[in-house]
Structure 1
Amino acid sequence: GLLYQAAMGAFRMWKDTPEKIFGAPLKGASISATIEPALLGVGYIIGPRIASIMCAGGVLSYLVLIPAIKFFGDNVTGPVAPGTVPISQMGPDDIREAYILYIGAGAVAAGGIISLFRSIPTIWHGLRGGLSDLLGQHSLRGHAPRTDRDLSMRVVVVGCLAIIAVIMAVPQLHLRGNILGAFLIVLFSFLFVTVSSRLTGEIGSSSTPISGMTVATLLLTCLAFLIVGWTAAPYFVTALSIGGIVCIAASNGGTTSQDLKTGFLVGSTPRAQQIAILFGSLASALTLGYVLLFLNDAYTVYVPVPANTELRAPAKEIGKTAKLQGLQAASDPKMYRVWQRMDPEGGAAQRYLVNQQSVPVYLVDPGINGTHRVRPDGSAVQKFDAPKATLMSYIIKGILSHKLPWALVLLGAMIAVVLEMSGIPSLAFAVGVYLPLASSSPIFFGGMVRWLVDRYLRVKFHHKNLSETELTAEGDKSPGVLLASGYIAGGAITGIVIAAKEMVGSLAAIGHRIEEWQTVHNPFLSGRSADLLALIPFFIICLLLYLVGRDLLLVSRSKS
């Protein structure tokens, strides 16, 4: 995974996103694939069913909804809200940004809520069992054996109070002195950590409905804010902070329970494990935020705003000073002021750099959830999609400000309802509707490789009369899962290194020159056949994954 991603991303040896845009009679339709090893590995691990359902959602978006919007809107002279330009002037990505994202968000929200309601019996069972275990702990104290020794409850209480104090002290969370916010954090964290811990032991961590719990937290938090009249913009951040904290707490609760169960099986001391988990959580909390900010800044594009623009930034909305960063920093060293513009129709917020006359000079397109994939100099830029983050923002804005294109959101919700009535998991399909088809199609290829490997295993173990669960377990133990994990880890590490290169001016310039040379001389990167030729190395790693999954390649000595 590391070598493949380096060859494709750093040295630009082949195109990273082959694409085909259709004309009439299917005008507006397109297919594409971001041929990264990490996405291929994800598809192999999650299996053919979920991978196919996710890709089906992308097919609905790019081969049905976008062409339908293009067909009906091509002859409309003016823009159709929430779009700002006529549909006749939009490409597939523009239509997705203006309309499909809201449909996908509605489908994801409905899928999450349906998943939560379907899980209520399990959640209630988990909560009741967890509370019973908690209330019965006093009888286990005393001279407990080493394998039953936990951290002192005094340490836990002091730690909880310290966390609450830190949360209340951070000004960016808008929770300072907010008693209601603190109460909601404690209430929902206690509830969903207990539920998550119990469910992890019963159905596994990957099946625990963390998304549904987070959606429920946001819905209830926003409704509480609505009742007390907290609908101003600062409370949007407060609601998001509460939801984020509860989401992390629930996720860590399930992970901790799984770790402690593994420790129990091998005879570990729970107290030592809990101390190690504290250090691990602290390390990730101190690093992952910076990694996300780093990736966002590395792939941010500064799009010049036309000089004749009529946009003007209100003085009260202009914030701190900033200048261009990354590869574009050398093109304009001047300092500007930041304007965070909120769309009056409830659409996505936009960030601008404005001059002394309050005139926008650059649109700041972020690396995460950004839409501009080409810099002004023509160099390509990778973007990262975060569907759950967008979903959470839509829930908050929809309840507290009532500014959402509800027709599109409800259309997406109805898609989720139809899928549930058909017996299809709506949440996986809805995520596919929201994500670009380029992201879900390589996941589909990974799922198909896993399907072929599972077919072989089914024949191999036919004489043992294994159940479906046992066959799935055999597939999970195959070397293909290890290689798929390597694809994910190698691709992720290389992606971070490439992002670091983008932040260093000299290295970014070298990378830009490499891309320019490859664009001129390499048919795998540019030219009429580049989209087809770029699939060759991708199919090679697909074949490698299949051969390893079938124990035909890289077989361990014990097996050989």
Structure 2
Amino acid sequence: MPQITVKAVVLGVLLSAILAGANAYLGLKVGMTVSASIPAAVISMALLRMFKHSNILENNIVQTAASAGESLAAGVIFTLPALILLRYWADFPFLDTMAIAMFGGVLGVLFTIPLRRALIIEKKLKFPEGVATGEVLKAGTEGGKGIMQIAWAGLAAALYKLGQTGLKLFSGSVSGSVTTGRSVFGMGTELSVALLGVGYIVGLNIAVLVFAGGLISWLFGIPLYMAFANPGEVAEVVGNMEGYNAALEIWSQKIRYMGVGAMVVGGVWALVSLAKPLKDGIASSWEAVKQAKSEDGPEVLRTEKDMPINYVLWGIVALAIPIFIIFTQVIDTSHLPVSRGLYWTTMGIGVLFSLVAGFLFASVAGYMAGLVGSSNNPISGVTIATILATSLILLVLLGSQLDFSVDSNRAQAAAAAAIVVGAMVACAAAIAGDNMQDLKAGQLVGATPYKQQIMQIVGVVSAAVVIAPILSLLFNAYGLGGVLPREGMSTEEMLSAPQATLMQSVAEGVFAQNLEWNMIWIGAVIAVAIIILDKVLEAKGTEFRTPVLAVAVGIYLPLELTVPIFIGGMIAWGAAKVVAKRAKKNSEDPDEAKVEAERKGLLFSSGLITGEALIGIILAIPFAIQESTDALRMVPQSFAPYADWLGAAAAVFFCIWLYKVAVKK
């Protein structure tokens, strides 16, 4: 059956661009992204049915390209907005942003080609989104009901988001706090249906761990810090703020650095866990090269043909040249005034570190995607580890010629250099995890691996072209992480960009020598304890596990973002229990019933995420034109108390609707 056809390429390019924009908005808002393979597969099925001739392998090719856009957006928005937060960029320059995204993404595709056999065939990892996508593609050959679930959920989520962010009829969040002595216990929740969908997709285990990370920060970290820290230091942080706002400021400036420590330890632990699969993957790749050169070697099946490894190696070497050029373009000599020899040495080390760290962390991302899925891919952890290591290397290299403690502009440029290296690695790691999921889906439906790898590159290029104008539009409409492009803008709708804010703080803190090392070490100790607990649970053979990176994500996310994720996970768990009990009562297969319920919930949740994210992109246009997030407001500020109740009631309605969809027979 034909795979790479004209209509498949056109649809793949368009969906890659659209989903890149949707995930860019979601990631900047909440600091998390989710796999778009399933909605891409369903949408492609619906569109390809309009043609007289289409097949399941074309569907797979379309979703392969489309999901690349979503993953590339994750790598970009977790890092490059940090250059805005550093005030190094005033906006997102098109060529620079596109080049970093494109070269990093293509590296991610190339890095994971040697790992396909080791991780998918020999290691037999789960690859949950890949399996789900494969099942959706197979189900699509029998009927397209799934597109209706995504369509209705997407429409409802879009209208709800329009009422929240545009018309101001619904509140976007509710929060409160209790003060005991010097300590504040804050609690709140985002009224976001996209986060509800995220929680359903990741399931109860991960949702509980993310929420537990939030509790570590907000139930223990913030109150303990306020109770035992020097009162003058606490007053310097919180200023005149009280209650929930004071707790939020303590978390922002102090406690979230525990998440940095936890993420670094988690990234290192993932590398250690990957040592054997990485070795096996490289050995398998070289064996394939020898067989290809030998005329007497066994013929390789179509479904086992990867892009030739010699092309992969030459491609990686060739990419080093444009990567070097873009590094010198973004970090020029006017920003980094050192001797010519040291400047070129620094740029060369940056390129080398991008390639080496990119390969190692792309391997980590591919392996972790197989364990917990693309939605929980540890992009943040590996990027933080990259930026921290790069910053320390640059501090040693440049410290002899630059006094960072005196000239903040030089520290800013050095921090920006670390961010650019981190962005390259983040894009490679994000695409690597997505690539492995798509290859798993392709294995289930009989696709040709090298054709999928070609379409991954097509999807990367498509998304890279549109990502800069989308980021610029979002920045000018909402503002990012405390930076507002114009005076008088409201901070209520500002996109928090939590990962980018964290990257900026880590890089800047190293050169300013004011990084919160005590908090980082506390987070590292917490991570070690979680790893030990996970090994104990593994030895006991329990189903519930504690992957450290999921907890670390919760530590540095605001608690109000983790609450709807937890609720979504609870709905998934409750629906599975009800469906299994009903199947057992009716003498049906409980496992088969749970899979069917999970599929319906996944499709509906994907619709919630897609609808809210897309309307956020659309609303950015009038907001940017009017230079105000109140451009579409229908009610006065005094309506806020009623908006809280309406928003909470609507959120409860969506929870019930999601549950009903999942358990419906």
Residue in 2 that maps onto 1:342? none
Counterparts of 1:142-291 in structure 2, within 5 Å, are 146-151=302-307, 156=312, 159-170=315-326, 171-174=328-331, 177=344, 178-197=347-366, 200=369, 205=374, 209-229=378-398, 232-233=410-411, 234-291=413-470
Instruction: Could you tell me which runs of 5 or more consecutive residues in structure 2 were left unpaired when the two chains were aligned.
Output: 1-156, 294-298, 333-342, 403-409, 535-545
Equivalent positions of 1:445-524 (< 5 A) are 445-462=567-584, 474=595, 477-505=598-626, 510-512=631-633, 514-516=634-636, 519-520=637-638
Deviation by residue 1:357-402 (Cα, 9 ceiling, x = unmatched): xxxxxxxxxx3x2289x9958x673133333333333433444442
Is the CA contact 1:111–1:416 (under 8 Å) kept in the aligned structure 2? yes
Q: By percentage of residues, which structure has more helix?
A: 2
User: Letter of the aligned partner of 2:199 in structure 1?
Assistant: G
> Which residue number corresponds to residue 551 of structure 1?
664
Determine which structure has more spread, i.e. the larger CA radius of gyration. Answer: 1
Instruction: Determine whether 1:129 maps to 2:308.
Output: no
Cα–Cα, structure 1 residues 62 and 223, in superposed 2: closer, same or farther, change >3 Å? Answer: closer
Find the aligned partners of 1:269 and 1:419 in 2 and give their Cα distance. 40
Asked if residue 45 in structure 1 is aligned to residue 201 in structure 2, the reply is: yes
Does residue 640 of structure 2 align to residue 526 of structure 1?
yes
Partner of 2:482: 370
Query: Is contact 1:56-1:432 (8 Å) kept?
Result: yes
Check whether the contact 2:187–2:244 (CA below 8 A) recurs between aligned residues: no
Deviation for aligned residue 1:19: 2.6
- Mark the CA change 1:190 to 1:472 in structure 2 (over 3 Å): closer, same or farther: farther
What whole-Å deviation, never above 9, does each CA across 1:494-517 have from its counterpart, x for those lacking one? 1111122201229966514x243x
- Taking structure 1 as reference, are residues 91 and 472 closer, same or farther at Cα in structure 2, changes over 3 Å only? farther
Report the Cα offset of residue 63 of structure 1. 4.6
The residue aligned with 2:190 is 34
Distance 1:394 1:428 in 2: 21
Task: Quote the Cα distance in structure 2 between the aligned partners of 1:451 and 1:248.
Answer: 32
Q: Deviations over 1:394-439 (max 9, x none)?
A: 4334444422233344444444455556555543333333222221
TM norm structure 2: 0.62
Structure 2 residue corresponding to 1:92, chosen from 234, 244, 264: 244
Alignment of 1:255-404 (within 5 A): 255-300=434-479, 367=480, 369-370=481-482, 376=488, 381-404=492-515
Post-superposition offset of 1:547: 0.4
**Alignment partners' CA distance in 1, 2:423 and 2:163:** 36
- For residues 264 and 57 of structure 1, the distance between their equivalents in structure 2, rounded to whole angstroms, comes to 35
1: CA distance between counterparts of 2:182 and 2:566? 23
TM-align CA RMSD: 3.7
* Residues 221, 14 of structure 1: alpha-carbon distance in 2 compared, 3 angstrom cutoff: closer
User: Given residue 186 of structure 1, which amino acid in structure 2 is its aligned partner?
Assistant: L
User: Counterparts of 2:573 and 2:191 in 1: how far apart (Å)?
Assistant: 19
Query: Are the aligned partners of 2:179 and 2:243 in contact in 1 as well (CA < 8 Å)?
Result: no
1:111/1:72 Cα in 2 relative to 1: closer, same or farther (>3 Å)?
A: closer
How far apart, CA to CA, are the structure 1 residues paired with 2:628 and 2:509? 43
Whole-angstrom distance in 2 between the partners of 1:383 and 1:507: 11
2:263 aligned with 1:112: yes
- The letter of the residue matching 1:139 is K
- Kindly tell me: are residues 204 and 140 of structure 1, through their superposed partners in 2, closer, same or farther at Cα, counting changes over 3 Å? farther
CA distance 1:224–1:473, shift in 2 (3 Å): farther
- Deviation, 1:118, is 3.5
Task: Note the C-alpha offset of 1:489.
Answer: 0.5
What is aligned with 1:80? 233
Contact 1:16 1:35 in 2 (8 A): yes
Any conservation in 2 of the 1:130–1:195 contact (CA below 8 Å)? Answer: no
Partner Cα distance (2:626, 2:370) in 1: 49
- Distance, in Å, in 2 between the alignment partners of 1:212 and 1:248 is 13
Between 1:413-422 and 1:393-402, the stretch displaced more is 413-422
CA 1:13–1:263 in structure 2 vs 1: closer, same or farther (change >3 Å)? same
Residue 429 of structure 1, aligned match among 551, 562, 575: 551
Distance 1:420 1:278, change over 3 A: closer
Tell me how far apart the structure 1 counterparts of residues 186 and 200 of structure 2 sit (CA, whole Å). Answer: 24
Q: Kindly indicate whether the alpha-carbon contact (under 8 Å) linking 2:204 and 2:573 is maintained by their aligned counterparts in 1.
A: yes
User: Structure 2 vs 1, CA of residues 371 and 294 (structure 1 numbering), >3 Å: closer, same or farther?
Assistant: closer
In 2, the alpha carbon distance for the partners of 1:85 and 1:63 equals 19
| In 1, Cα distance between equivalents of 2:643 and 2:307 | 59
Distance 1:258 1:412, change over 3 A: closer
Seen in structure 2, the aligned counterparts of structure 1 residues 218 and 69 have a Cα distance that, compared at 3 Å, is closer
**1:457-514 residue CA offsets vs partner (Å, 9 max, x unmatched):** 33134478989xx6897277331121111110001001111122201229966514x2
Aligned with 1:504: secondary structure? Answer: helix
Q: Secondary structure at the match of 1:14?
A: coil
Q: How many residues align?
A: 468
Decide whether the 8 Å contact of 1:387 with 1:431 is kept in 2: no
Task: Answer yes or no: is the 8 Å Cα contact 2:381–2:549 preserved in 1.
Answer: no
Report the alpha carbon displacement of residue 227 of structure 1 after superposing the two structures with TM. Answer: 3.9
1:444 aligned to 2:566?
yes
C-alpha displacement at 1:108, in angstroms? 1.8
CA distance in 2, matches of 1:25, 1:433: 24
Query: For each residue in 1:187-218, what CA deviation from the matched residue of structure 2 results, as whole angstroms up to 9, or x when unmatched?
Result: 22233334544665577545654444334433
Structure 1 Cα separation of the partners of residues 612 and 196 of structure 2: 10
- Segments of structure 1 that go 5 or more residues without pairing to the other structure are 301-366, 553-560
Moved more, 179-188 or 481-490: 179-188
Instruction: Work out whether residues 257 and 556 of structure 2, in 8 Å CA contact, stay in contact via their aligned partners in 1.
Output: no
The question of whether the paired residues in 1 share the 8 Å contact of 2:214 and 2:556 is answered with: yes
Aligned to 1:540: 653
The alpha carbon displacement at 1:550 in A equals 0.3
| Percent identity over paired residues | 28
Separation of aligned partners in 2, 1:461 and 1:104: 46
Contact 2:387 2:503 (8 Å CA) reproduced: yes
| 1:103 and 1:409 in contact (8 A); partners too | no
- Quick check: 2:186–2:247 contact (8 Å CA) kept in 1? no
Cα separation, partners in 2 of 1:420 and 1:532, compared to 1, 3 Å:
farther
CA contact (8 A) 2:304 2:448 kept: yes
Structure-1 separation of matches of 2:561 and 2:225: 22
Contact 1:263 1:269 in 2 (8 A): yes
More moved, 172-181 vs 48-57:
172-181
CA contact (8 A) 2:183 2:223 kept: yes
Kindly state the Cα deviation for residue 169 of structure 1 after the two structures are TM-superposed.
1.9
Any idea what SS the aligned residue of 2:493 has?
Answer: coil
Deviations 1:131-174 (A, max 9, x none): 10221122332675544554456754564355323222224543
Indicate the residue corresponding to 2:158 in structure 1.
2
Flag the 1:165–1:472 CA change in 2: closer, same or farther, 3 A.
Answer: farther
Q: Is the 8 A contact 2:383 2:425 kept in 1?
A: yes
